[in-house]
Each structure stands twice: as structure tokens, then as C-alpha cells.
A = this chain, B = another copy of it.
Amino acid sequence: MTEVVTYRPEPAEMSYTFGGREPVLRVRPGTVVQLYTEDCYGGRVRGVDDLPSRVCEFPYLNPVTGPIHVEGAEPGDTLAVHVVAVEPARDWAVSSTFPHFGALTGTHTTAMLHPPLDEVVWMYDVDVAAGTVTYRARRGDYTVALPLDPMHGTMGVAPAAFESRMTIVPDAHGGNMDSPELRAGVTAYFGVNVPGALFAVGDGHCRQGHGEVCGTGVEAAMNTTLILDLVKGVSTPWPRLESDDALMSTGSARPLEDAYRISQHDLVSWTAELMGLDQLDAYQLVSQAGEAPVGNVCDPNYTMLARVARRYLGGVTAYDGVHARLRETGRAHLAHR
């Protein structure tokens, strides 16, 4: 029988790093966890006059819920995180520019002599029943409904090598990958670096464009249901995703071509291994059949995914079929709640 744990962190329990924190929860592999996650502003931006640079305080940005210790997880294992549901917790969401953050502005890294762009907040109406979020121009009256497509920008485990990283950083441990692919129905795989894996999740988006060009998505608190499971004795070098239709590898680095290289290299290697293909044959197959959905082009590392449809891989099974099993469990959980 499936164990179900519900956890809503107090503000003081929020985490701001992957690594360096004691777990807030311990679960057995296979547990369904129902979590509340706060938005990347810590819930402090509630109207257009709440400028993030005034109401938020560094480094208390992008809080995550966790870390969660998964019993039995050891370095060298893989944590499988099946996303059952990502449900907006409020009927509004928010996006903004932020001084010296985003892809079309000078930043602290791409350092320039320009003053920052204007700091502007946009409030979105969230209509779960209609499946929309509504954009409203701030300096005009244009309004348009966009499809609701909830996802988590930030998900990962404690890093290797005794590191602790701000939640805003994506890297080999996961983190702030900001990929719209991380939505319900997907299983994410993370290599375990420390006992218990120390999983955490946050930064819900009602939707985001590719690359999160202004620096933020349609940011929202979420009620999120996940299944945390283990694949023992199998390592995973960079976070991978599996959907019913596709296999995906991620890469997070700068410049952006290195994020592309990491993700494509991992997908070529993974495909070769799964299919028993020669490496160059897999390189050719991914070259013609592969896709490259962009994650973020604004965070401390940029993120790209490499994706190949299962139907081009002859129905191959990855990680011993854990995605299909968790998918079934997730559907059953939703049907009975």
C-alpha cells in the first residue's frame, strides 16, 4: 500500500540552498508526498507596488520545500521523482523584472555600465478551471489569456563534494533548471550524492516561456504531489527526465553551448547504452531525431534539455521501468484522493 505524507513548511523551515541543511522530513522510498511550495519571492510580492528589490531580502530568495531524506538513498544510487500533480495554490500569480537579472540586461556577471532596466511587476489571474493565466500590460490595456501549464523551476538533491549551492543555481545536482518540461506526468532522475539524497523542490511557475528571458516565469505557490523512489546501484551523471513519450537529459553551464553539449552528450551516451548502439551511431540518431528544448538563459548557469521521442528508440525501457510504475501509482493516487 502506498504511504502518503503531507507537509507544509512554516516560513522558518524554508531552505535557500541545496546541501548544508538538516532534513525537514524523512520518507521511505515509494512514498507519495503532498507538499506546499512558496513562490520565488517568498510570497512577498502581492501587488504591482511590491517591488521585489524592496520587499525581498538577499539571500532569502527562491525558497524550497525540503530537504527530504529518502531512507536508504546512498551515493551512487538514483532518486526517481515522479511528478503527480502541480496545482496553483492561489488564484493569482506574479512576474517581474529584477535589477540586473534577465537575459536582455547587464547582470552582475555580464557586467555593464548601464543602470538597471525599470523594475516592473505584472500580476496574473490564475483560473484553474479554465486552464488559463491572464497577462495584462502595465503601460497599456492589452490583455491575453495564456494556457496554464504548471511546473517547478527548482528541483534537486544535495550536491557532491560537500558543496552547498544557492537554490537559484542549476548544476549537476538539479537546482533551478527552470525548464517547462518539469510538469506533471514526468519522472525526474537525480544522482544521489549524500546519504538520504536530501531532495527539495520549489519555484512553481503557472507557465514560462523558453529561456525565461525577463528572468522570471508566472511565479506561484503550488500544492504539489510527488512520488519519491529509489533506483539502487544505478548512477545518473546529470538530471534526466522521462515522460510517457520521451527521454530527456539536462545540462546546466555557461556559455549556453556548453549546456547544450552536456545535455546532448548525456542523451547520446544514454541512448547508446539503452539501445546497445555504437556511440557514433547514437550520435547520428540523436542528431536527426533529437530536440533541444531551452530551459533558462538567465540563471547563474543556463539550462538546456536534449530530448528524443521513445518511438524512435524501439520502445526501450529506462531505469528498469520505474517511470511506468510510478505513473500508474500516481494515477491511482489522483483517482482516490
Binding site for B on A (CB under 8 A): 16-17, 19-20, 58-59, 95, 97, 103-106, 108-115, 117-118, 120, 122, 133, 135, 137-140, 142, 144, 146, 160-166, 207-218, 251, 253-258, 260-262, 264-266, 268, 275-281, 283-292, 294, 297, 302, 304, 312-314
Contact = CB atoms under 8 A, between A and B. Distances in A.
A256 B256 contact: yes
B280 A120 contact: yes
Most chain B CB within 10 A, of A140, A211, A255, A294, is at: A211
A111 B104 contact: yes
A148 to B, nearest CB: 11
Given A111-B261, A258-B110, A287 B209 contact: yes
Nearest to A110: B258
A161 B59 contact: yes
A217 B289 CA distance: 10
A313 B271 CA distance: 39
Contacts of A207: 288
A17 B160 CA distance: 11
Contact of A95 (B108, B258, B284): B284
Given A137-B281, A258-B109, A275-B142, A286 B209 contact: yes
A329 to B, nearest CB: 31
A266 B275 CA distance: 40
B104 A261 contact: yes
A109 B112 CA distance: 14
A254 to B, nearest CB: 4
A12 to B, nearest CB: 14
A104 B312 CA distance: 21
B114 A268 contact: no
Contacts of A281: 137-140, 142
Contacts of A217: 287-288
A106 B114 contact: yes
B209 A112 contact: no
28 contacts: A16-B162, A17-B161, A17-B162, A59-B161, A97-B283, A103-B261, A103-B264, A104-B261, A111-B266, A114-B114, A114-B115, A118-B280, A135-B285, A135-B289, A139-B278, A139-B281, A142-B285, A146-B288, A208-B288, A209-B287, A209-B288, A209-B292, A214-B287, A254-B254, A254-B255, A255-B255, A256-B256, A294-B304
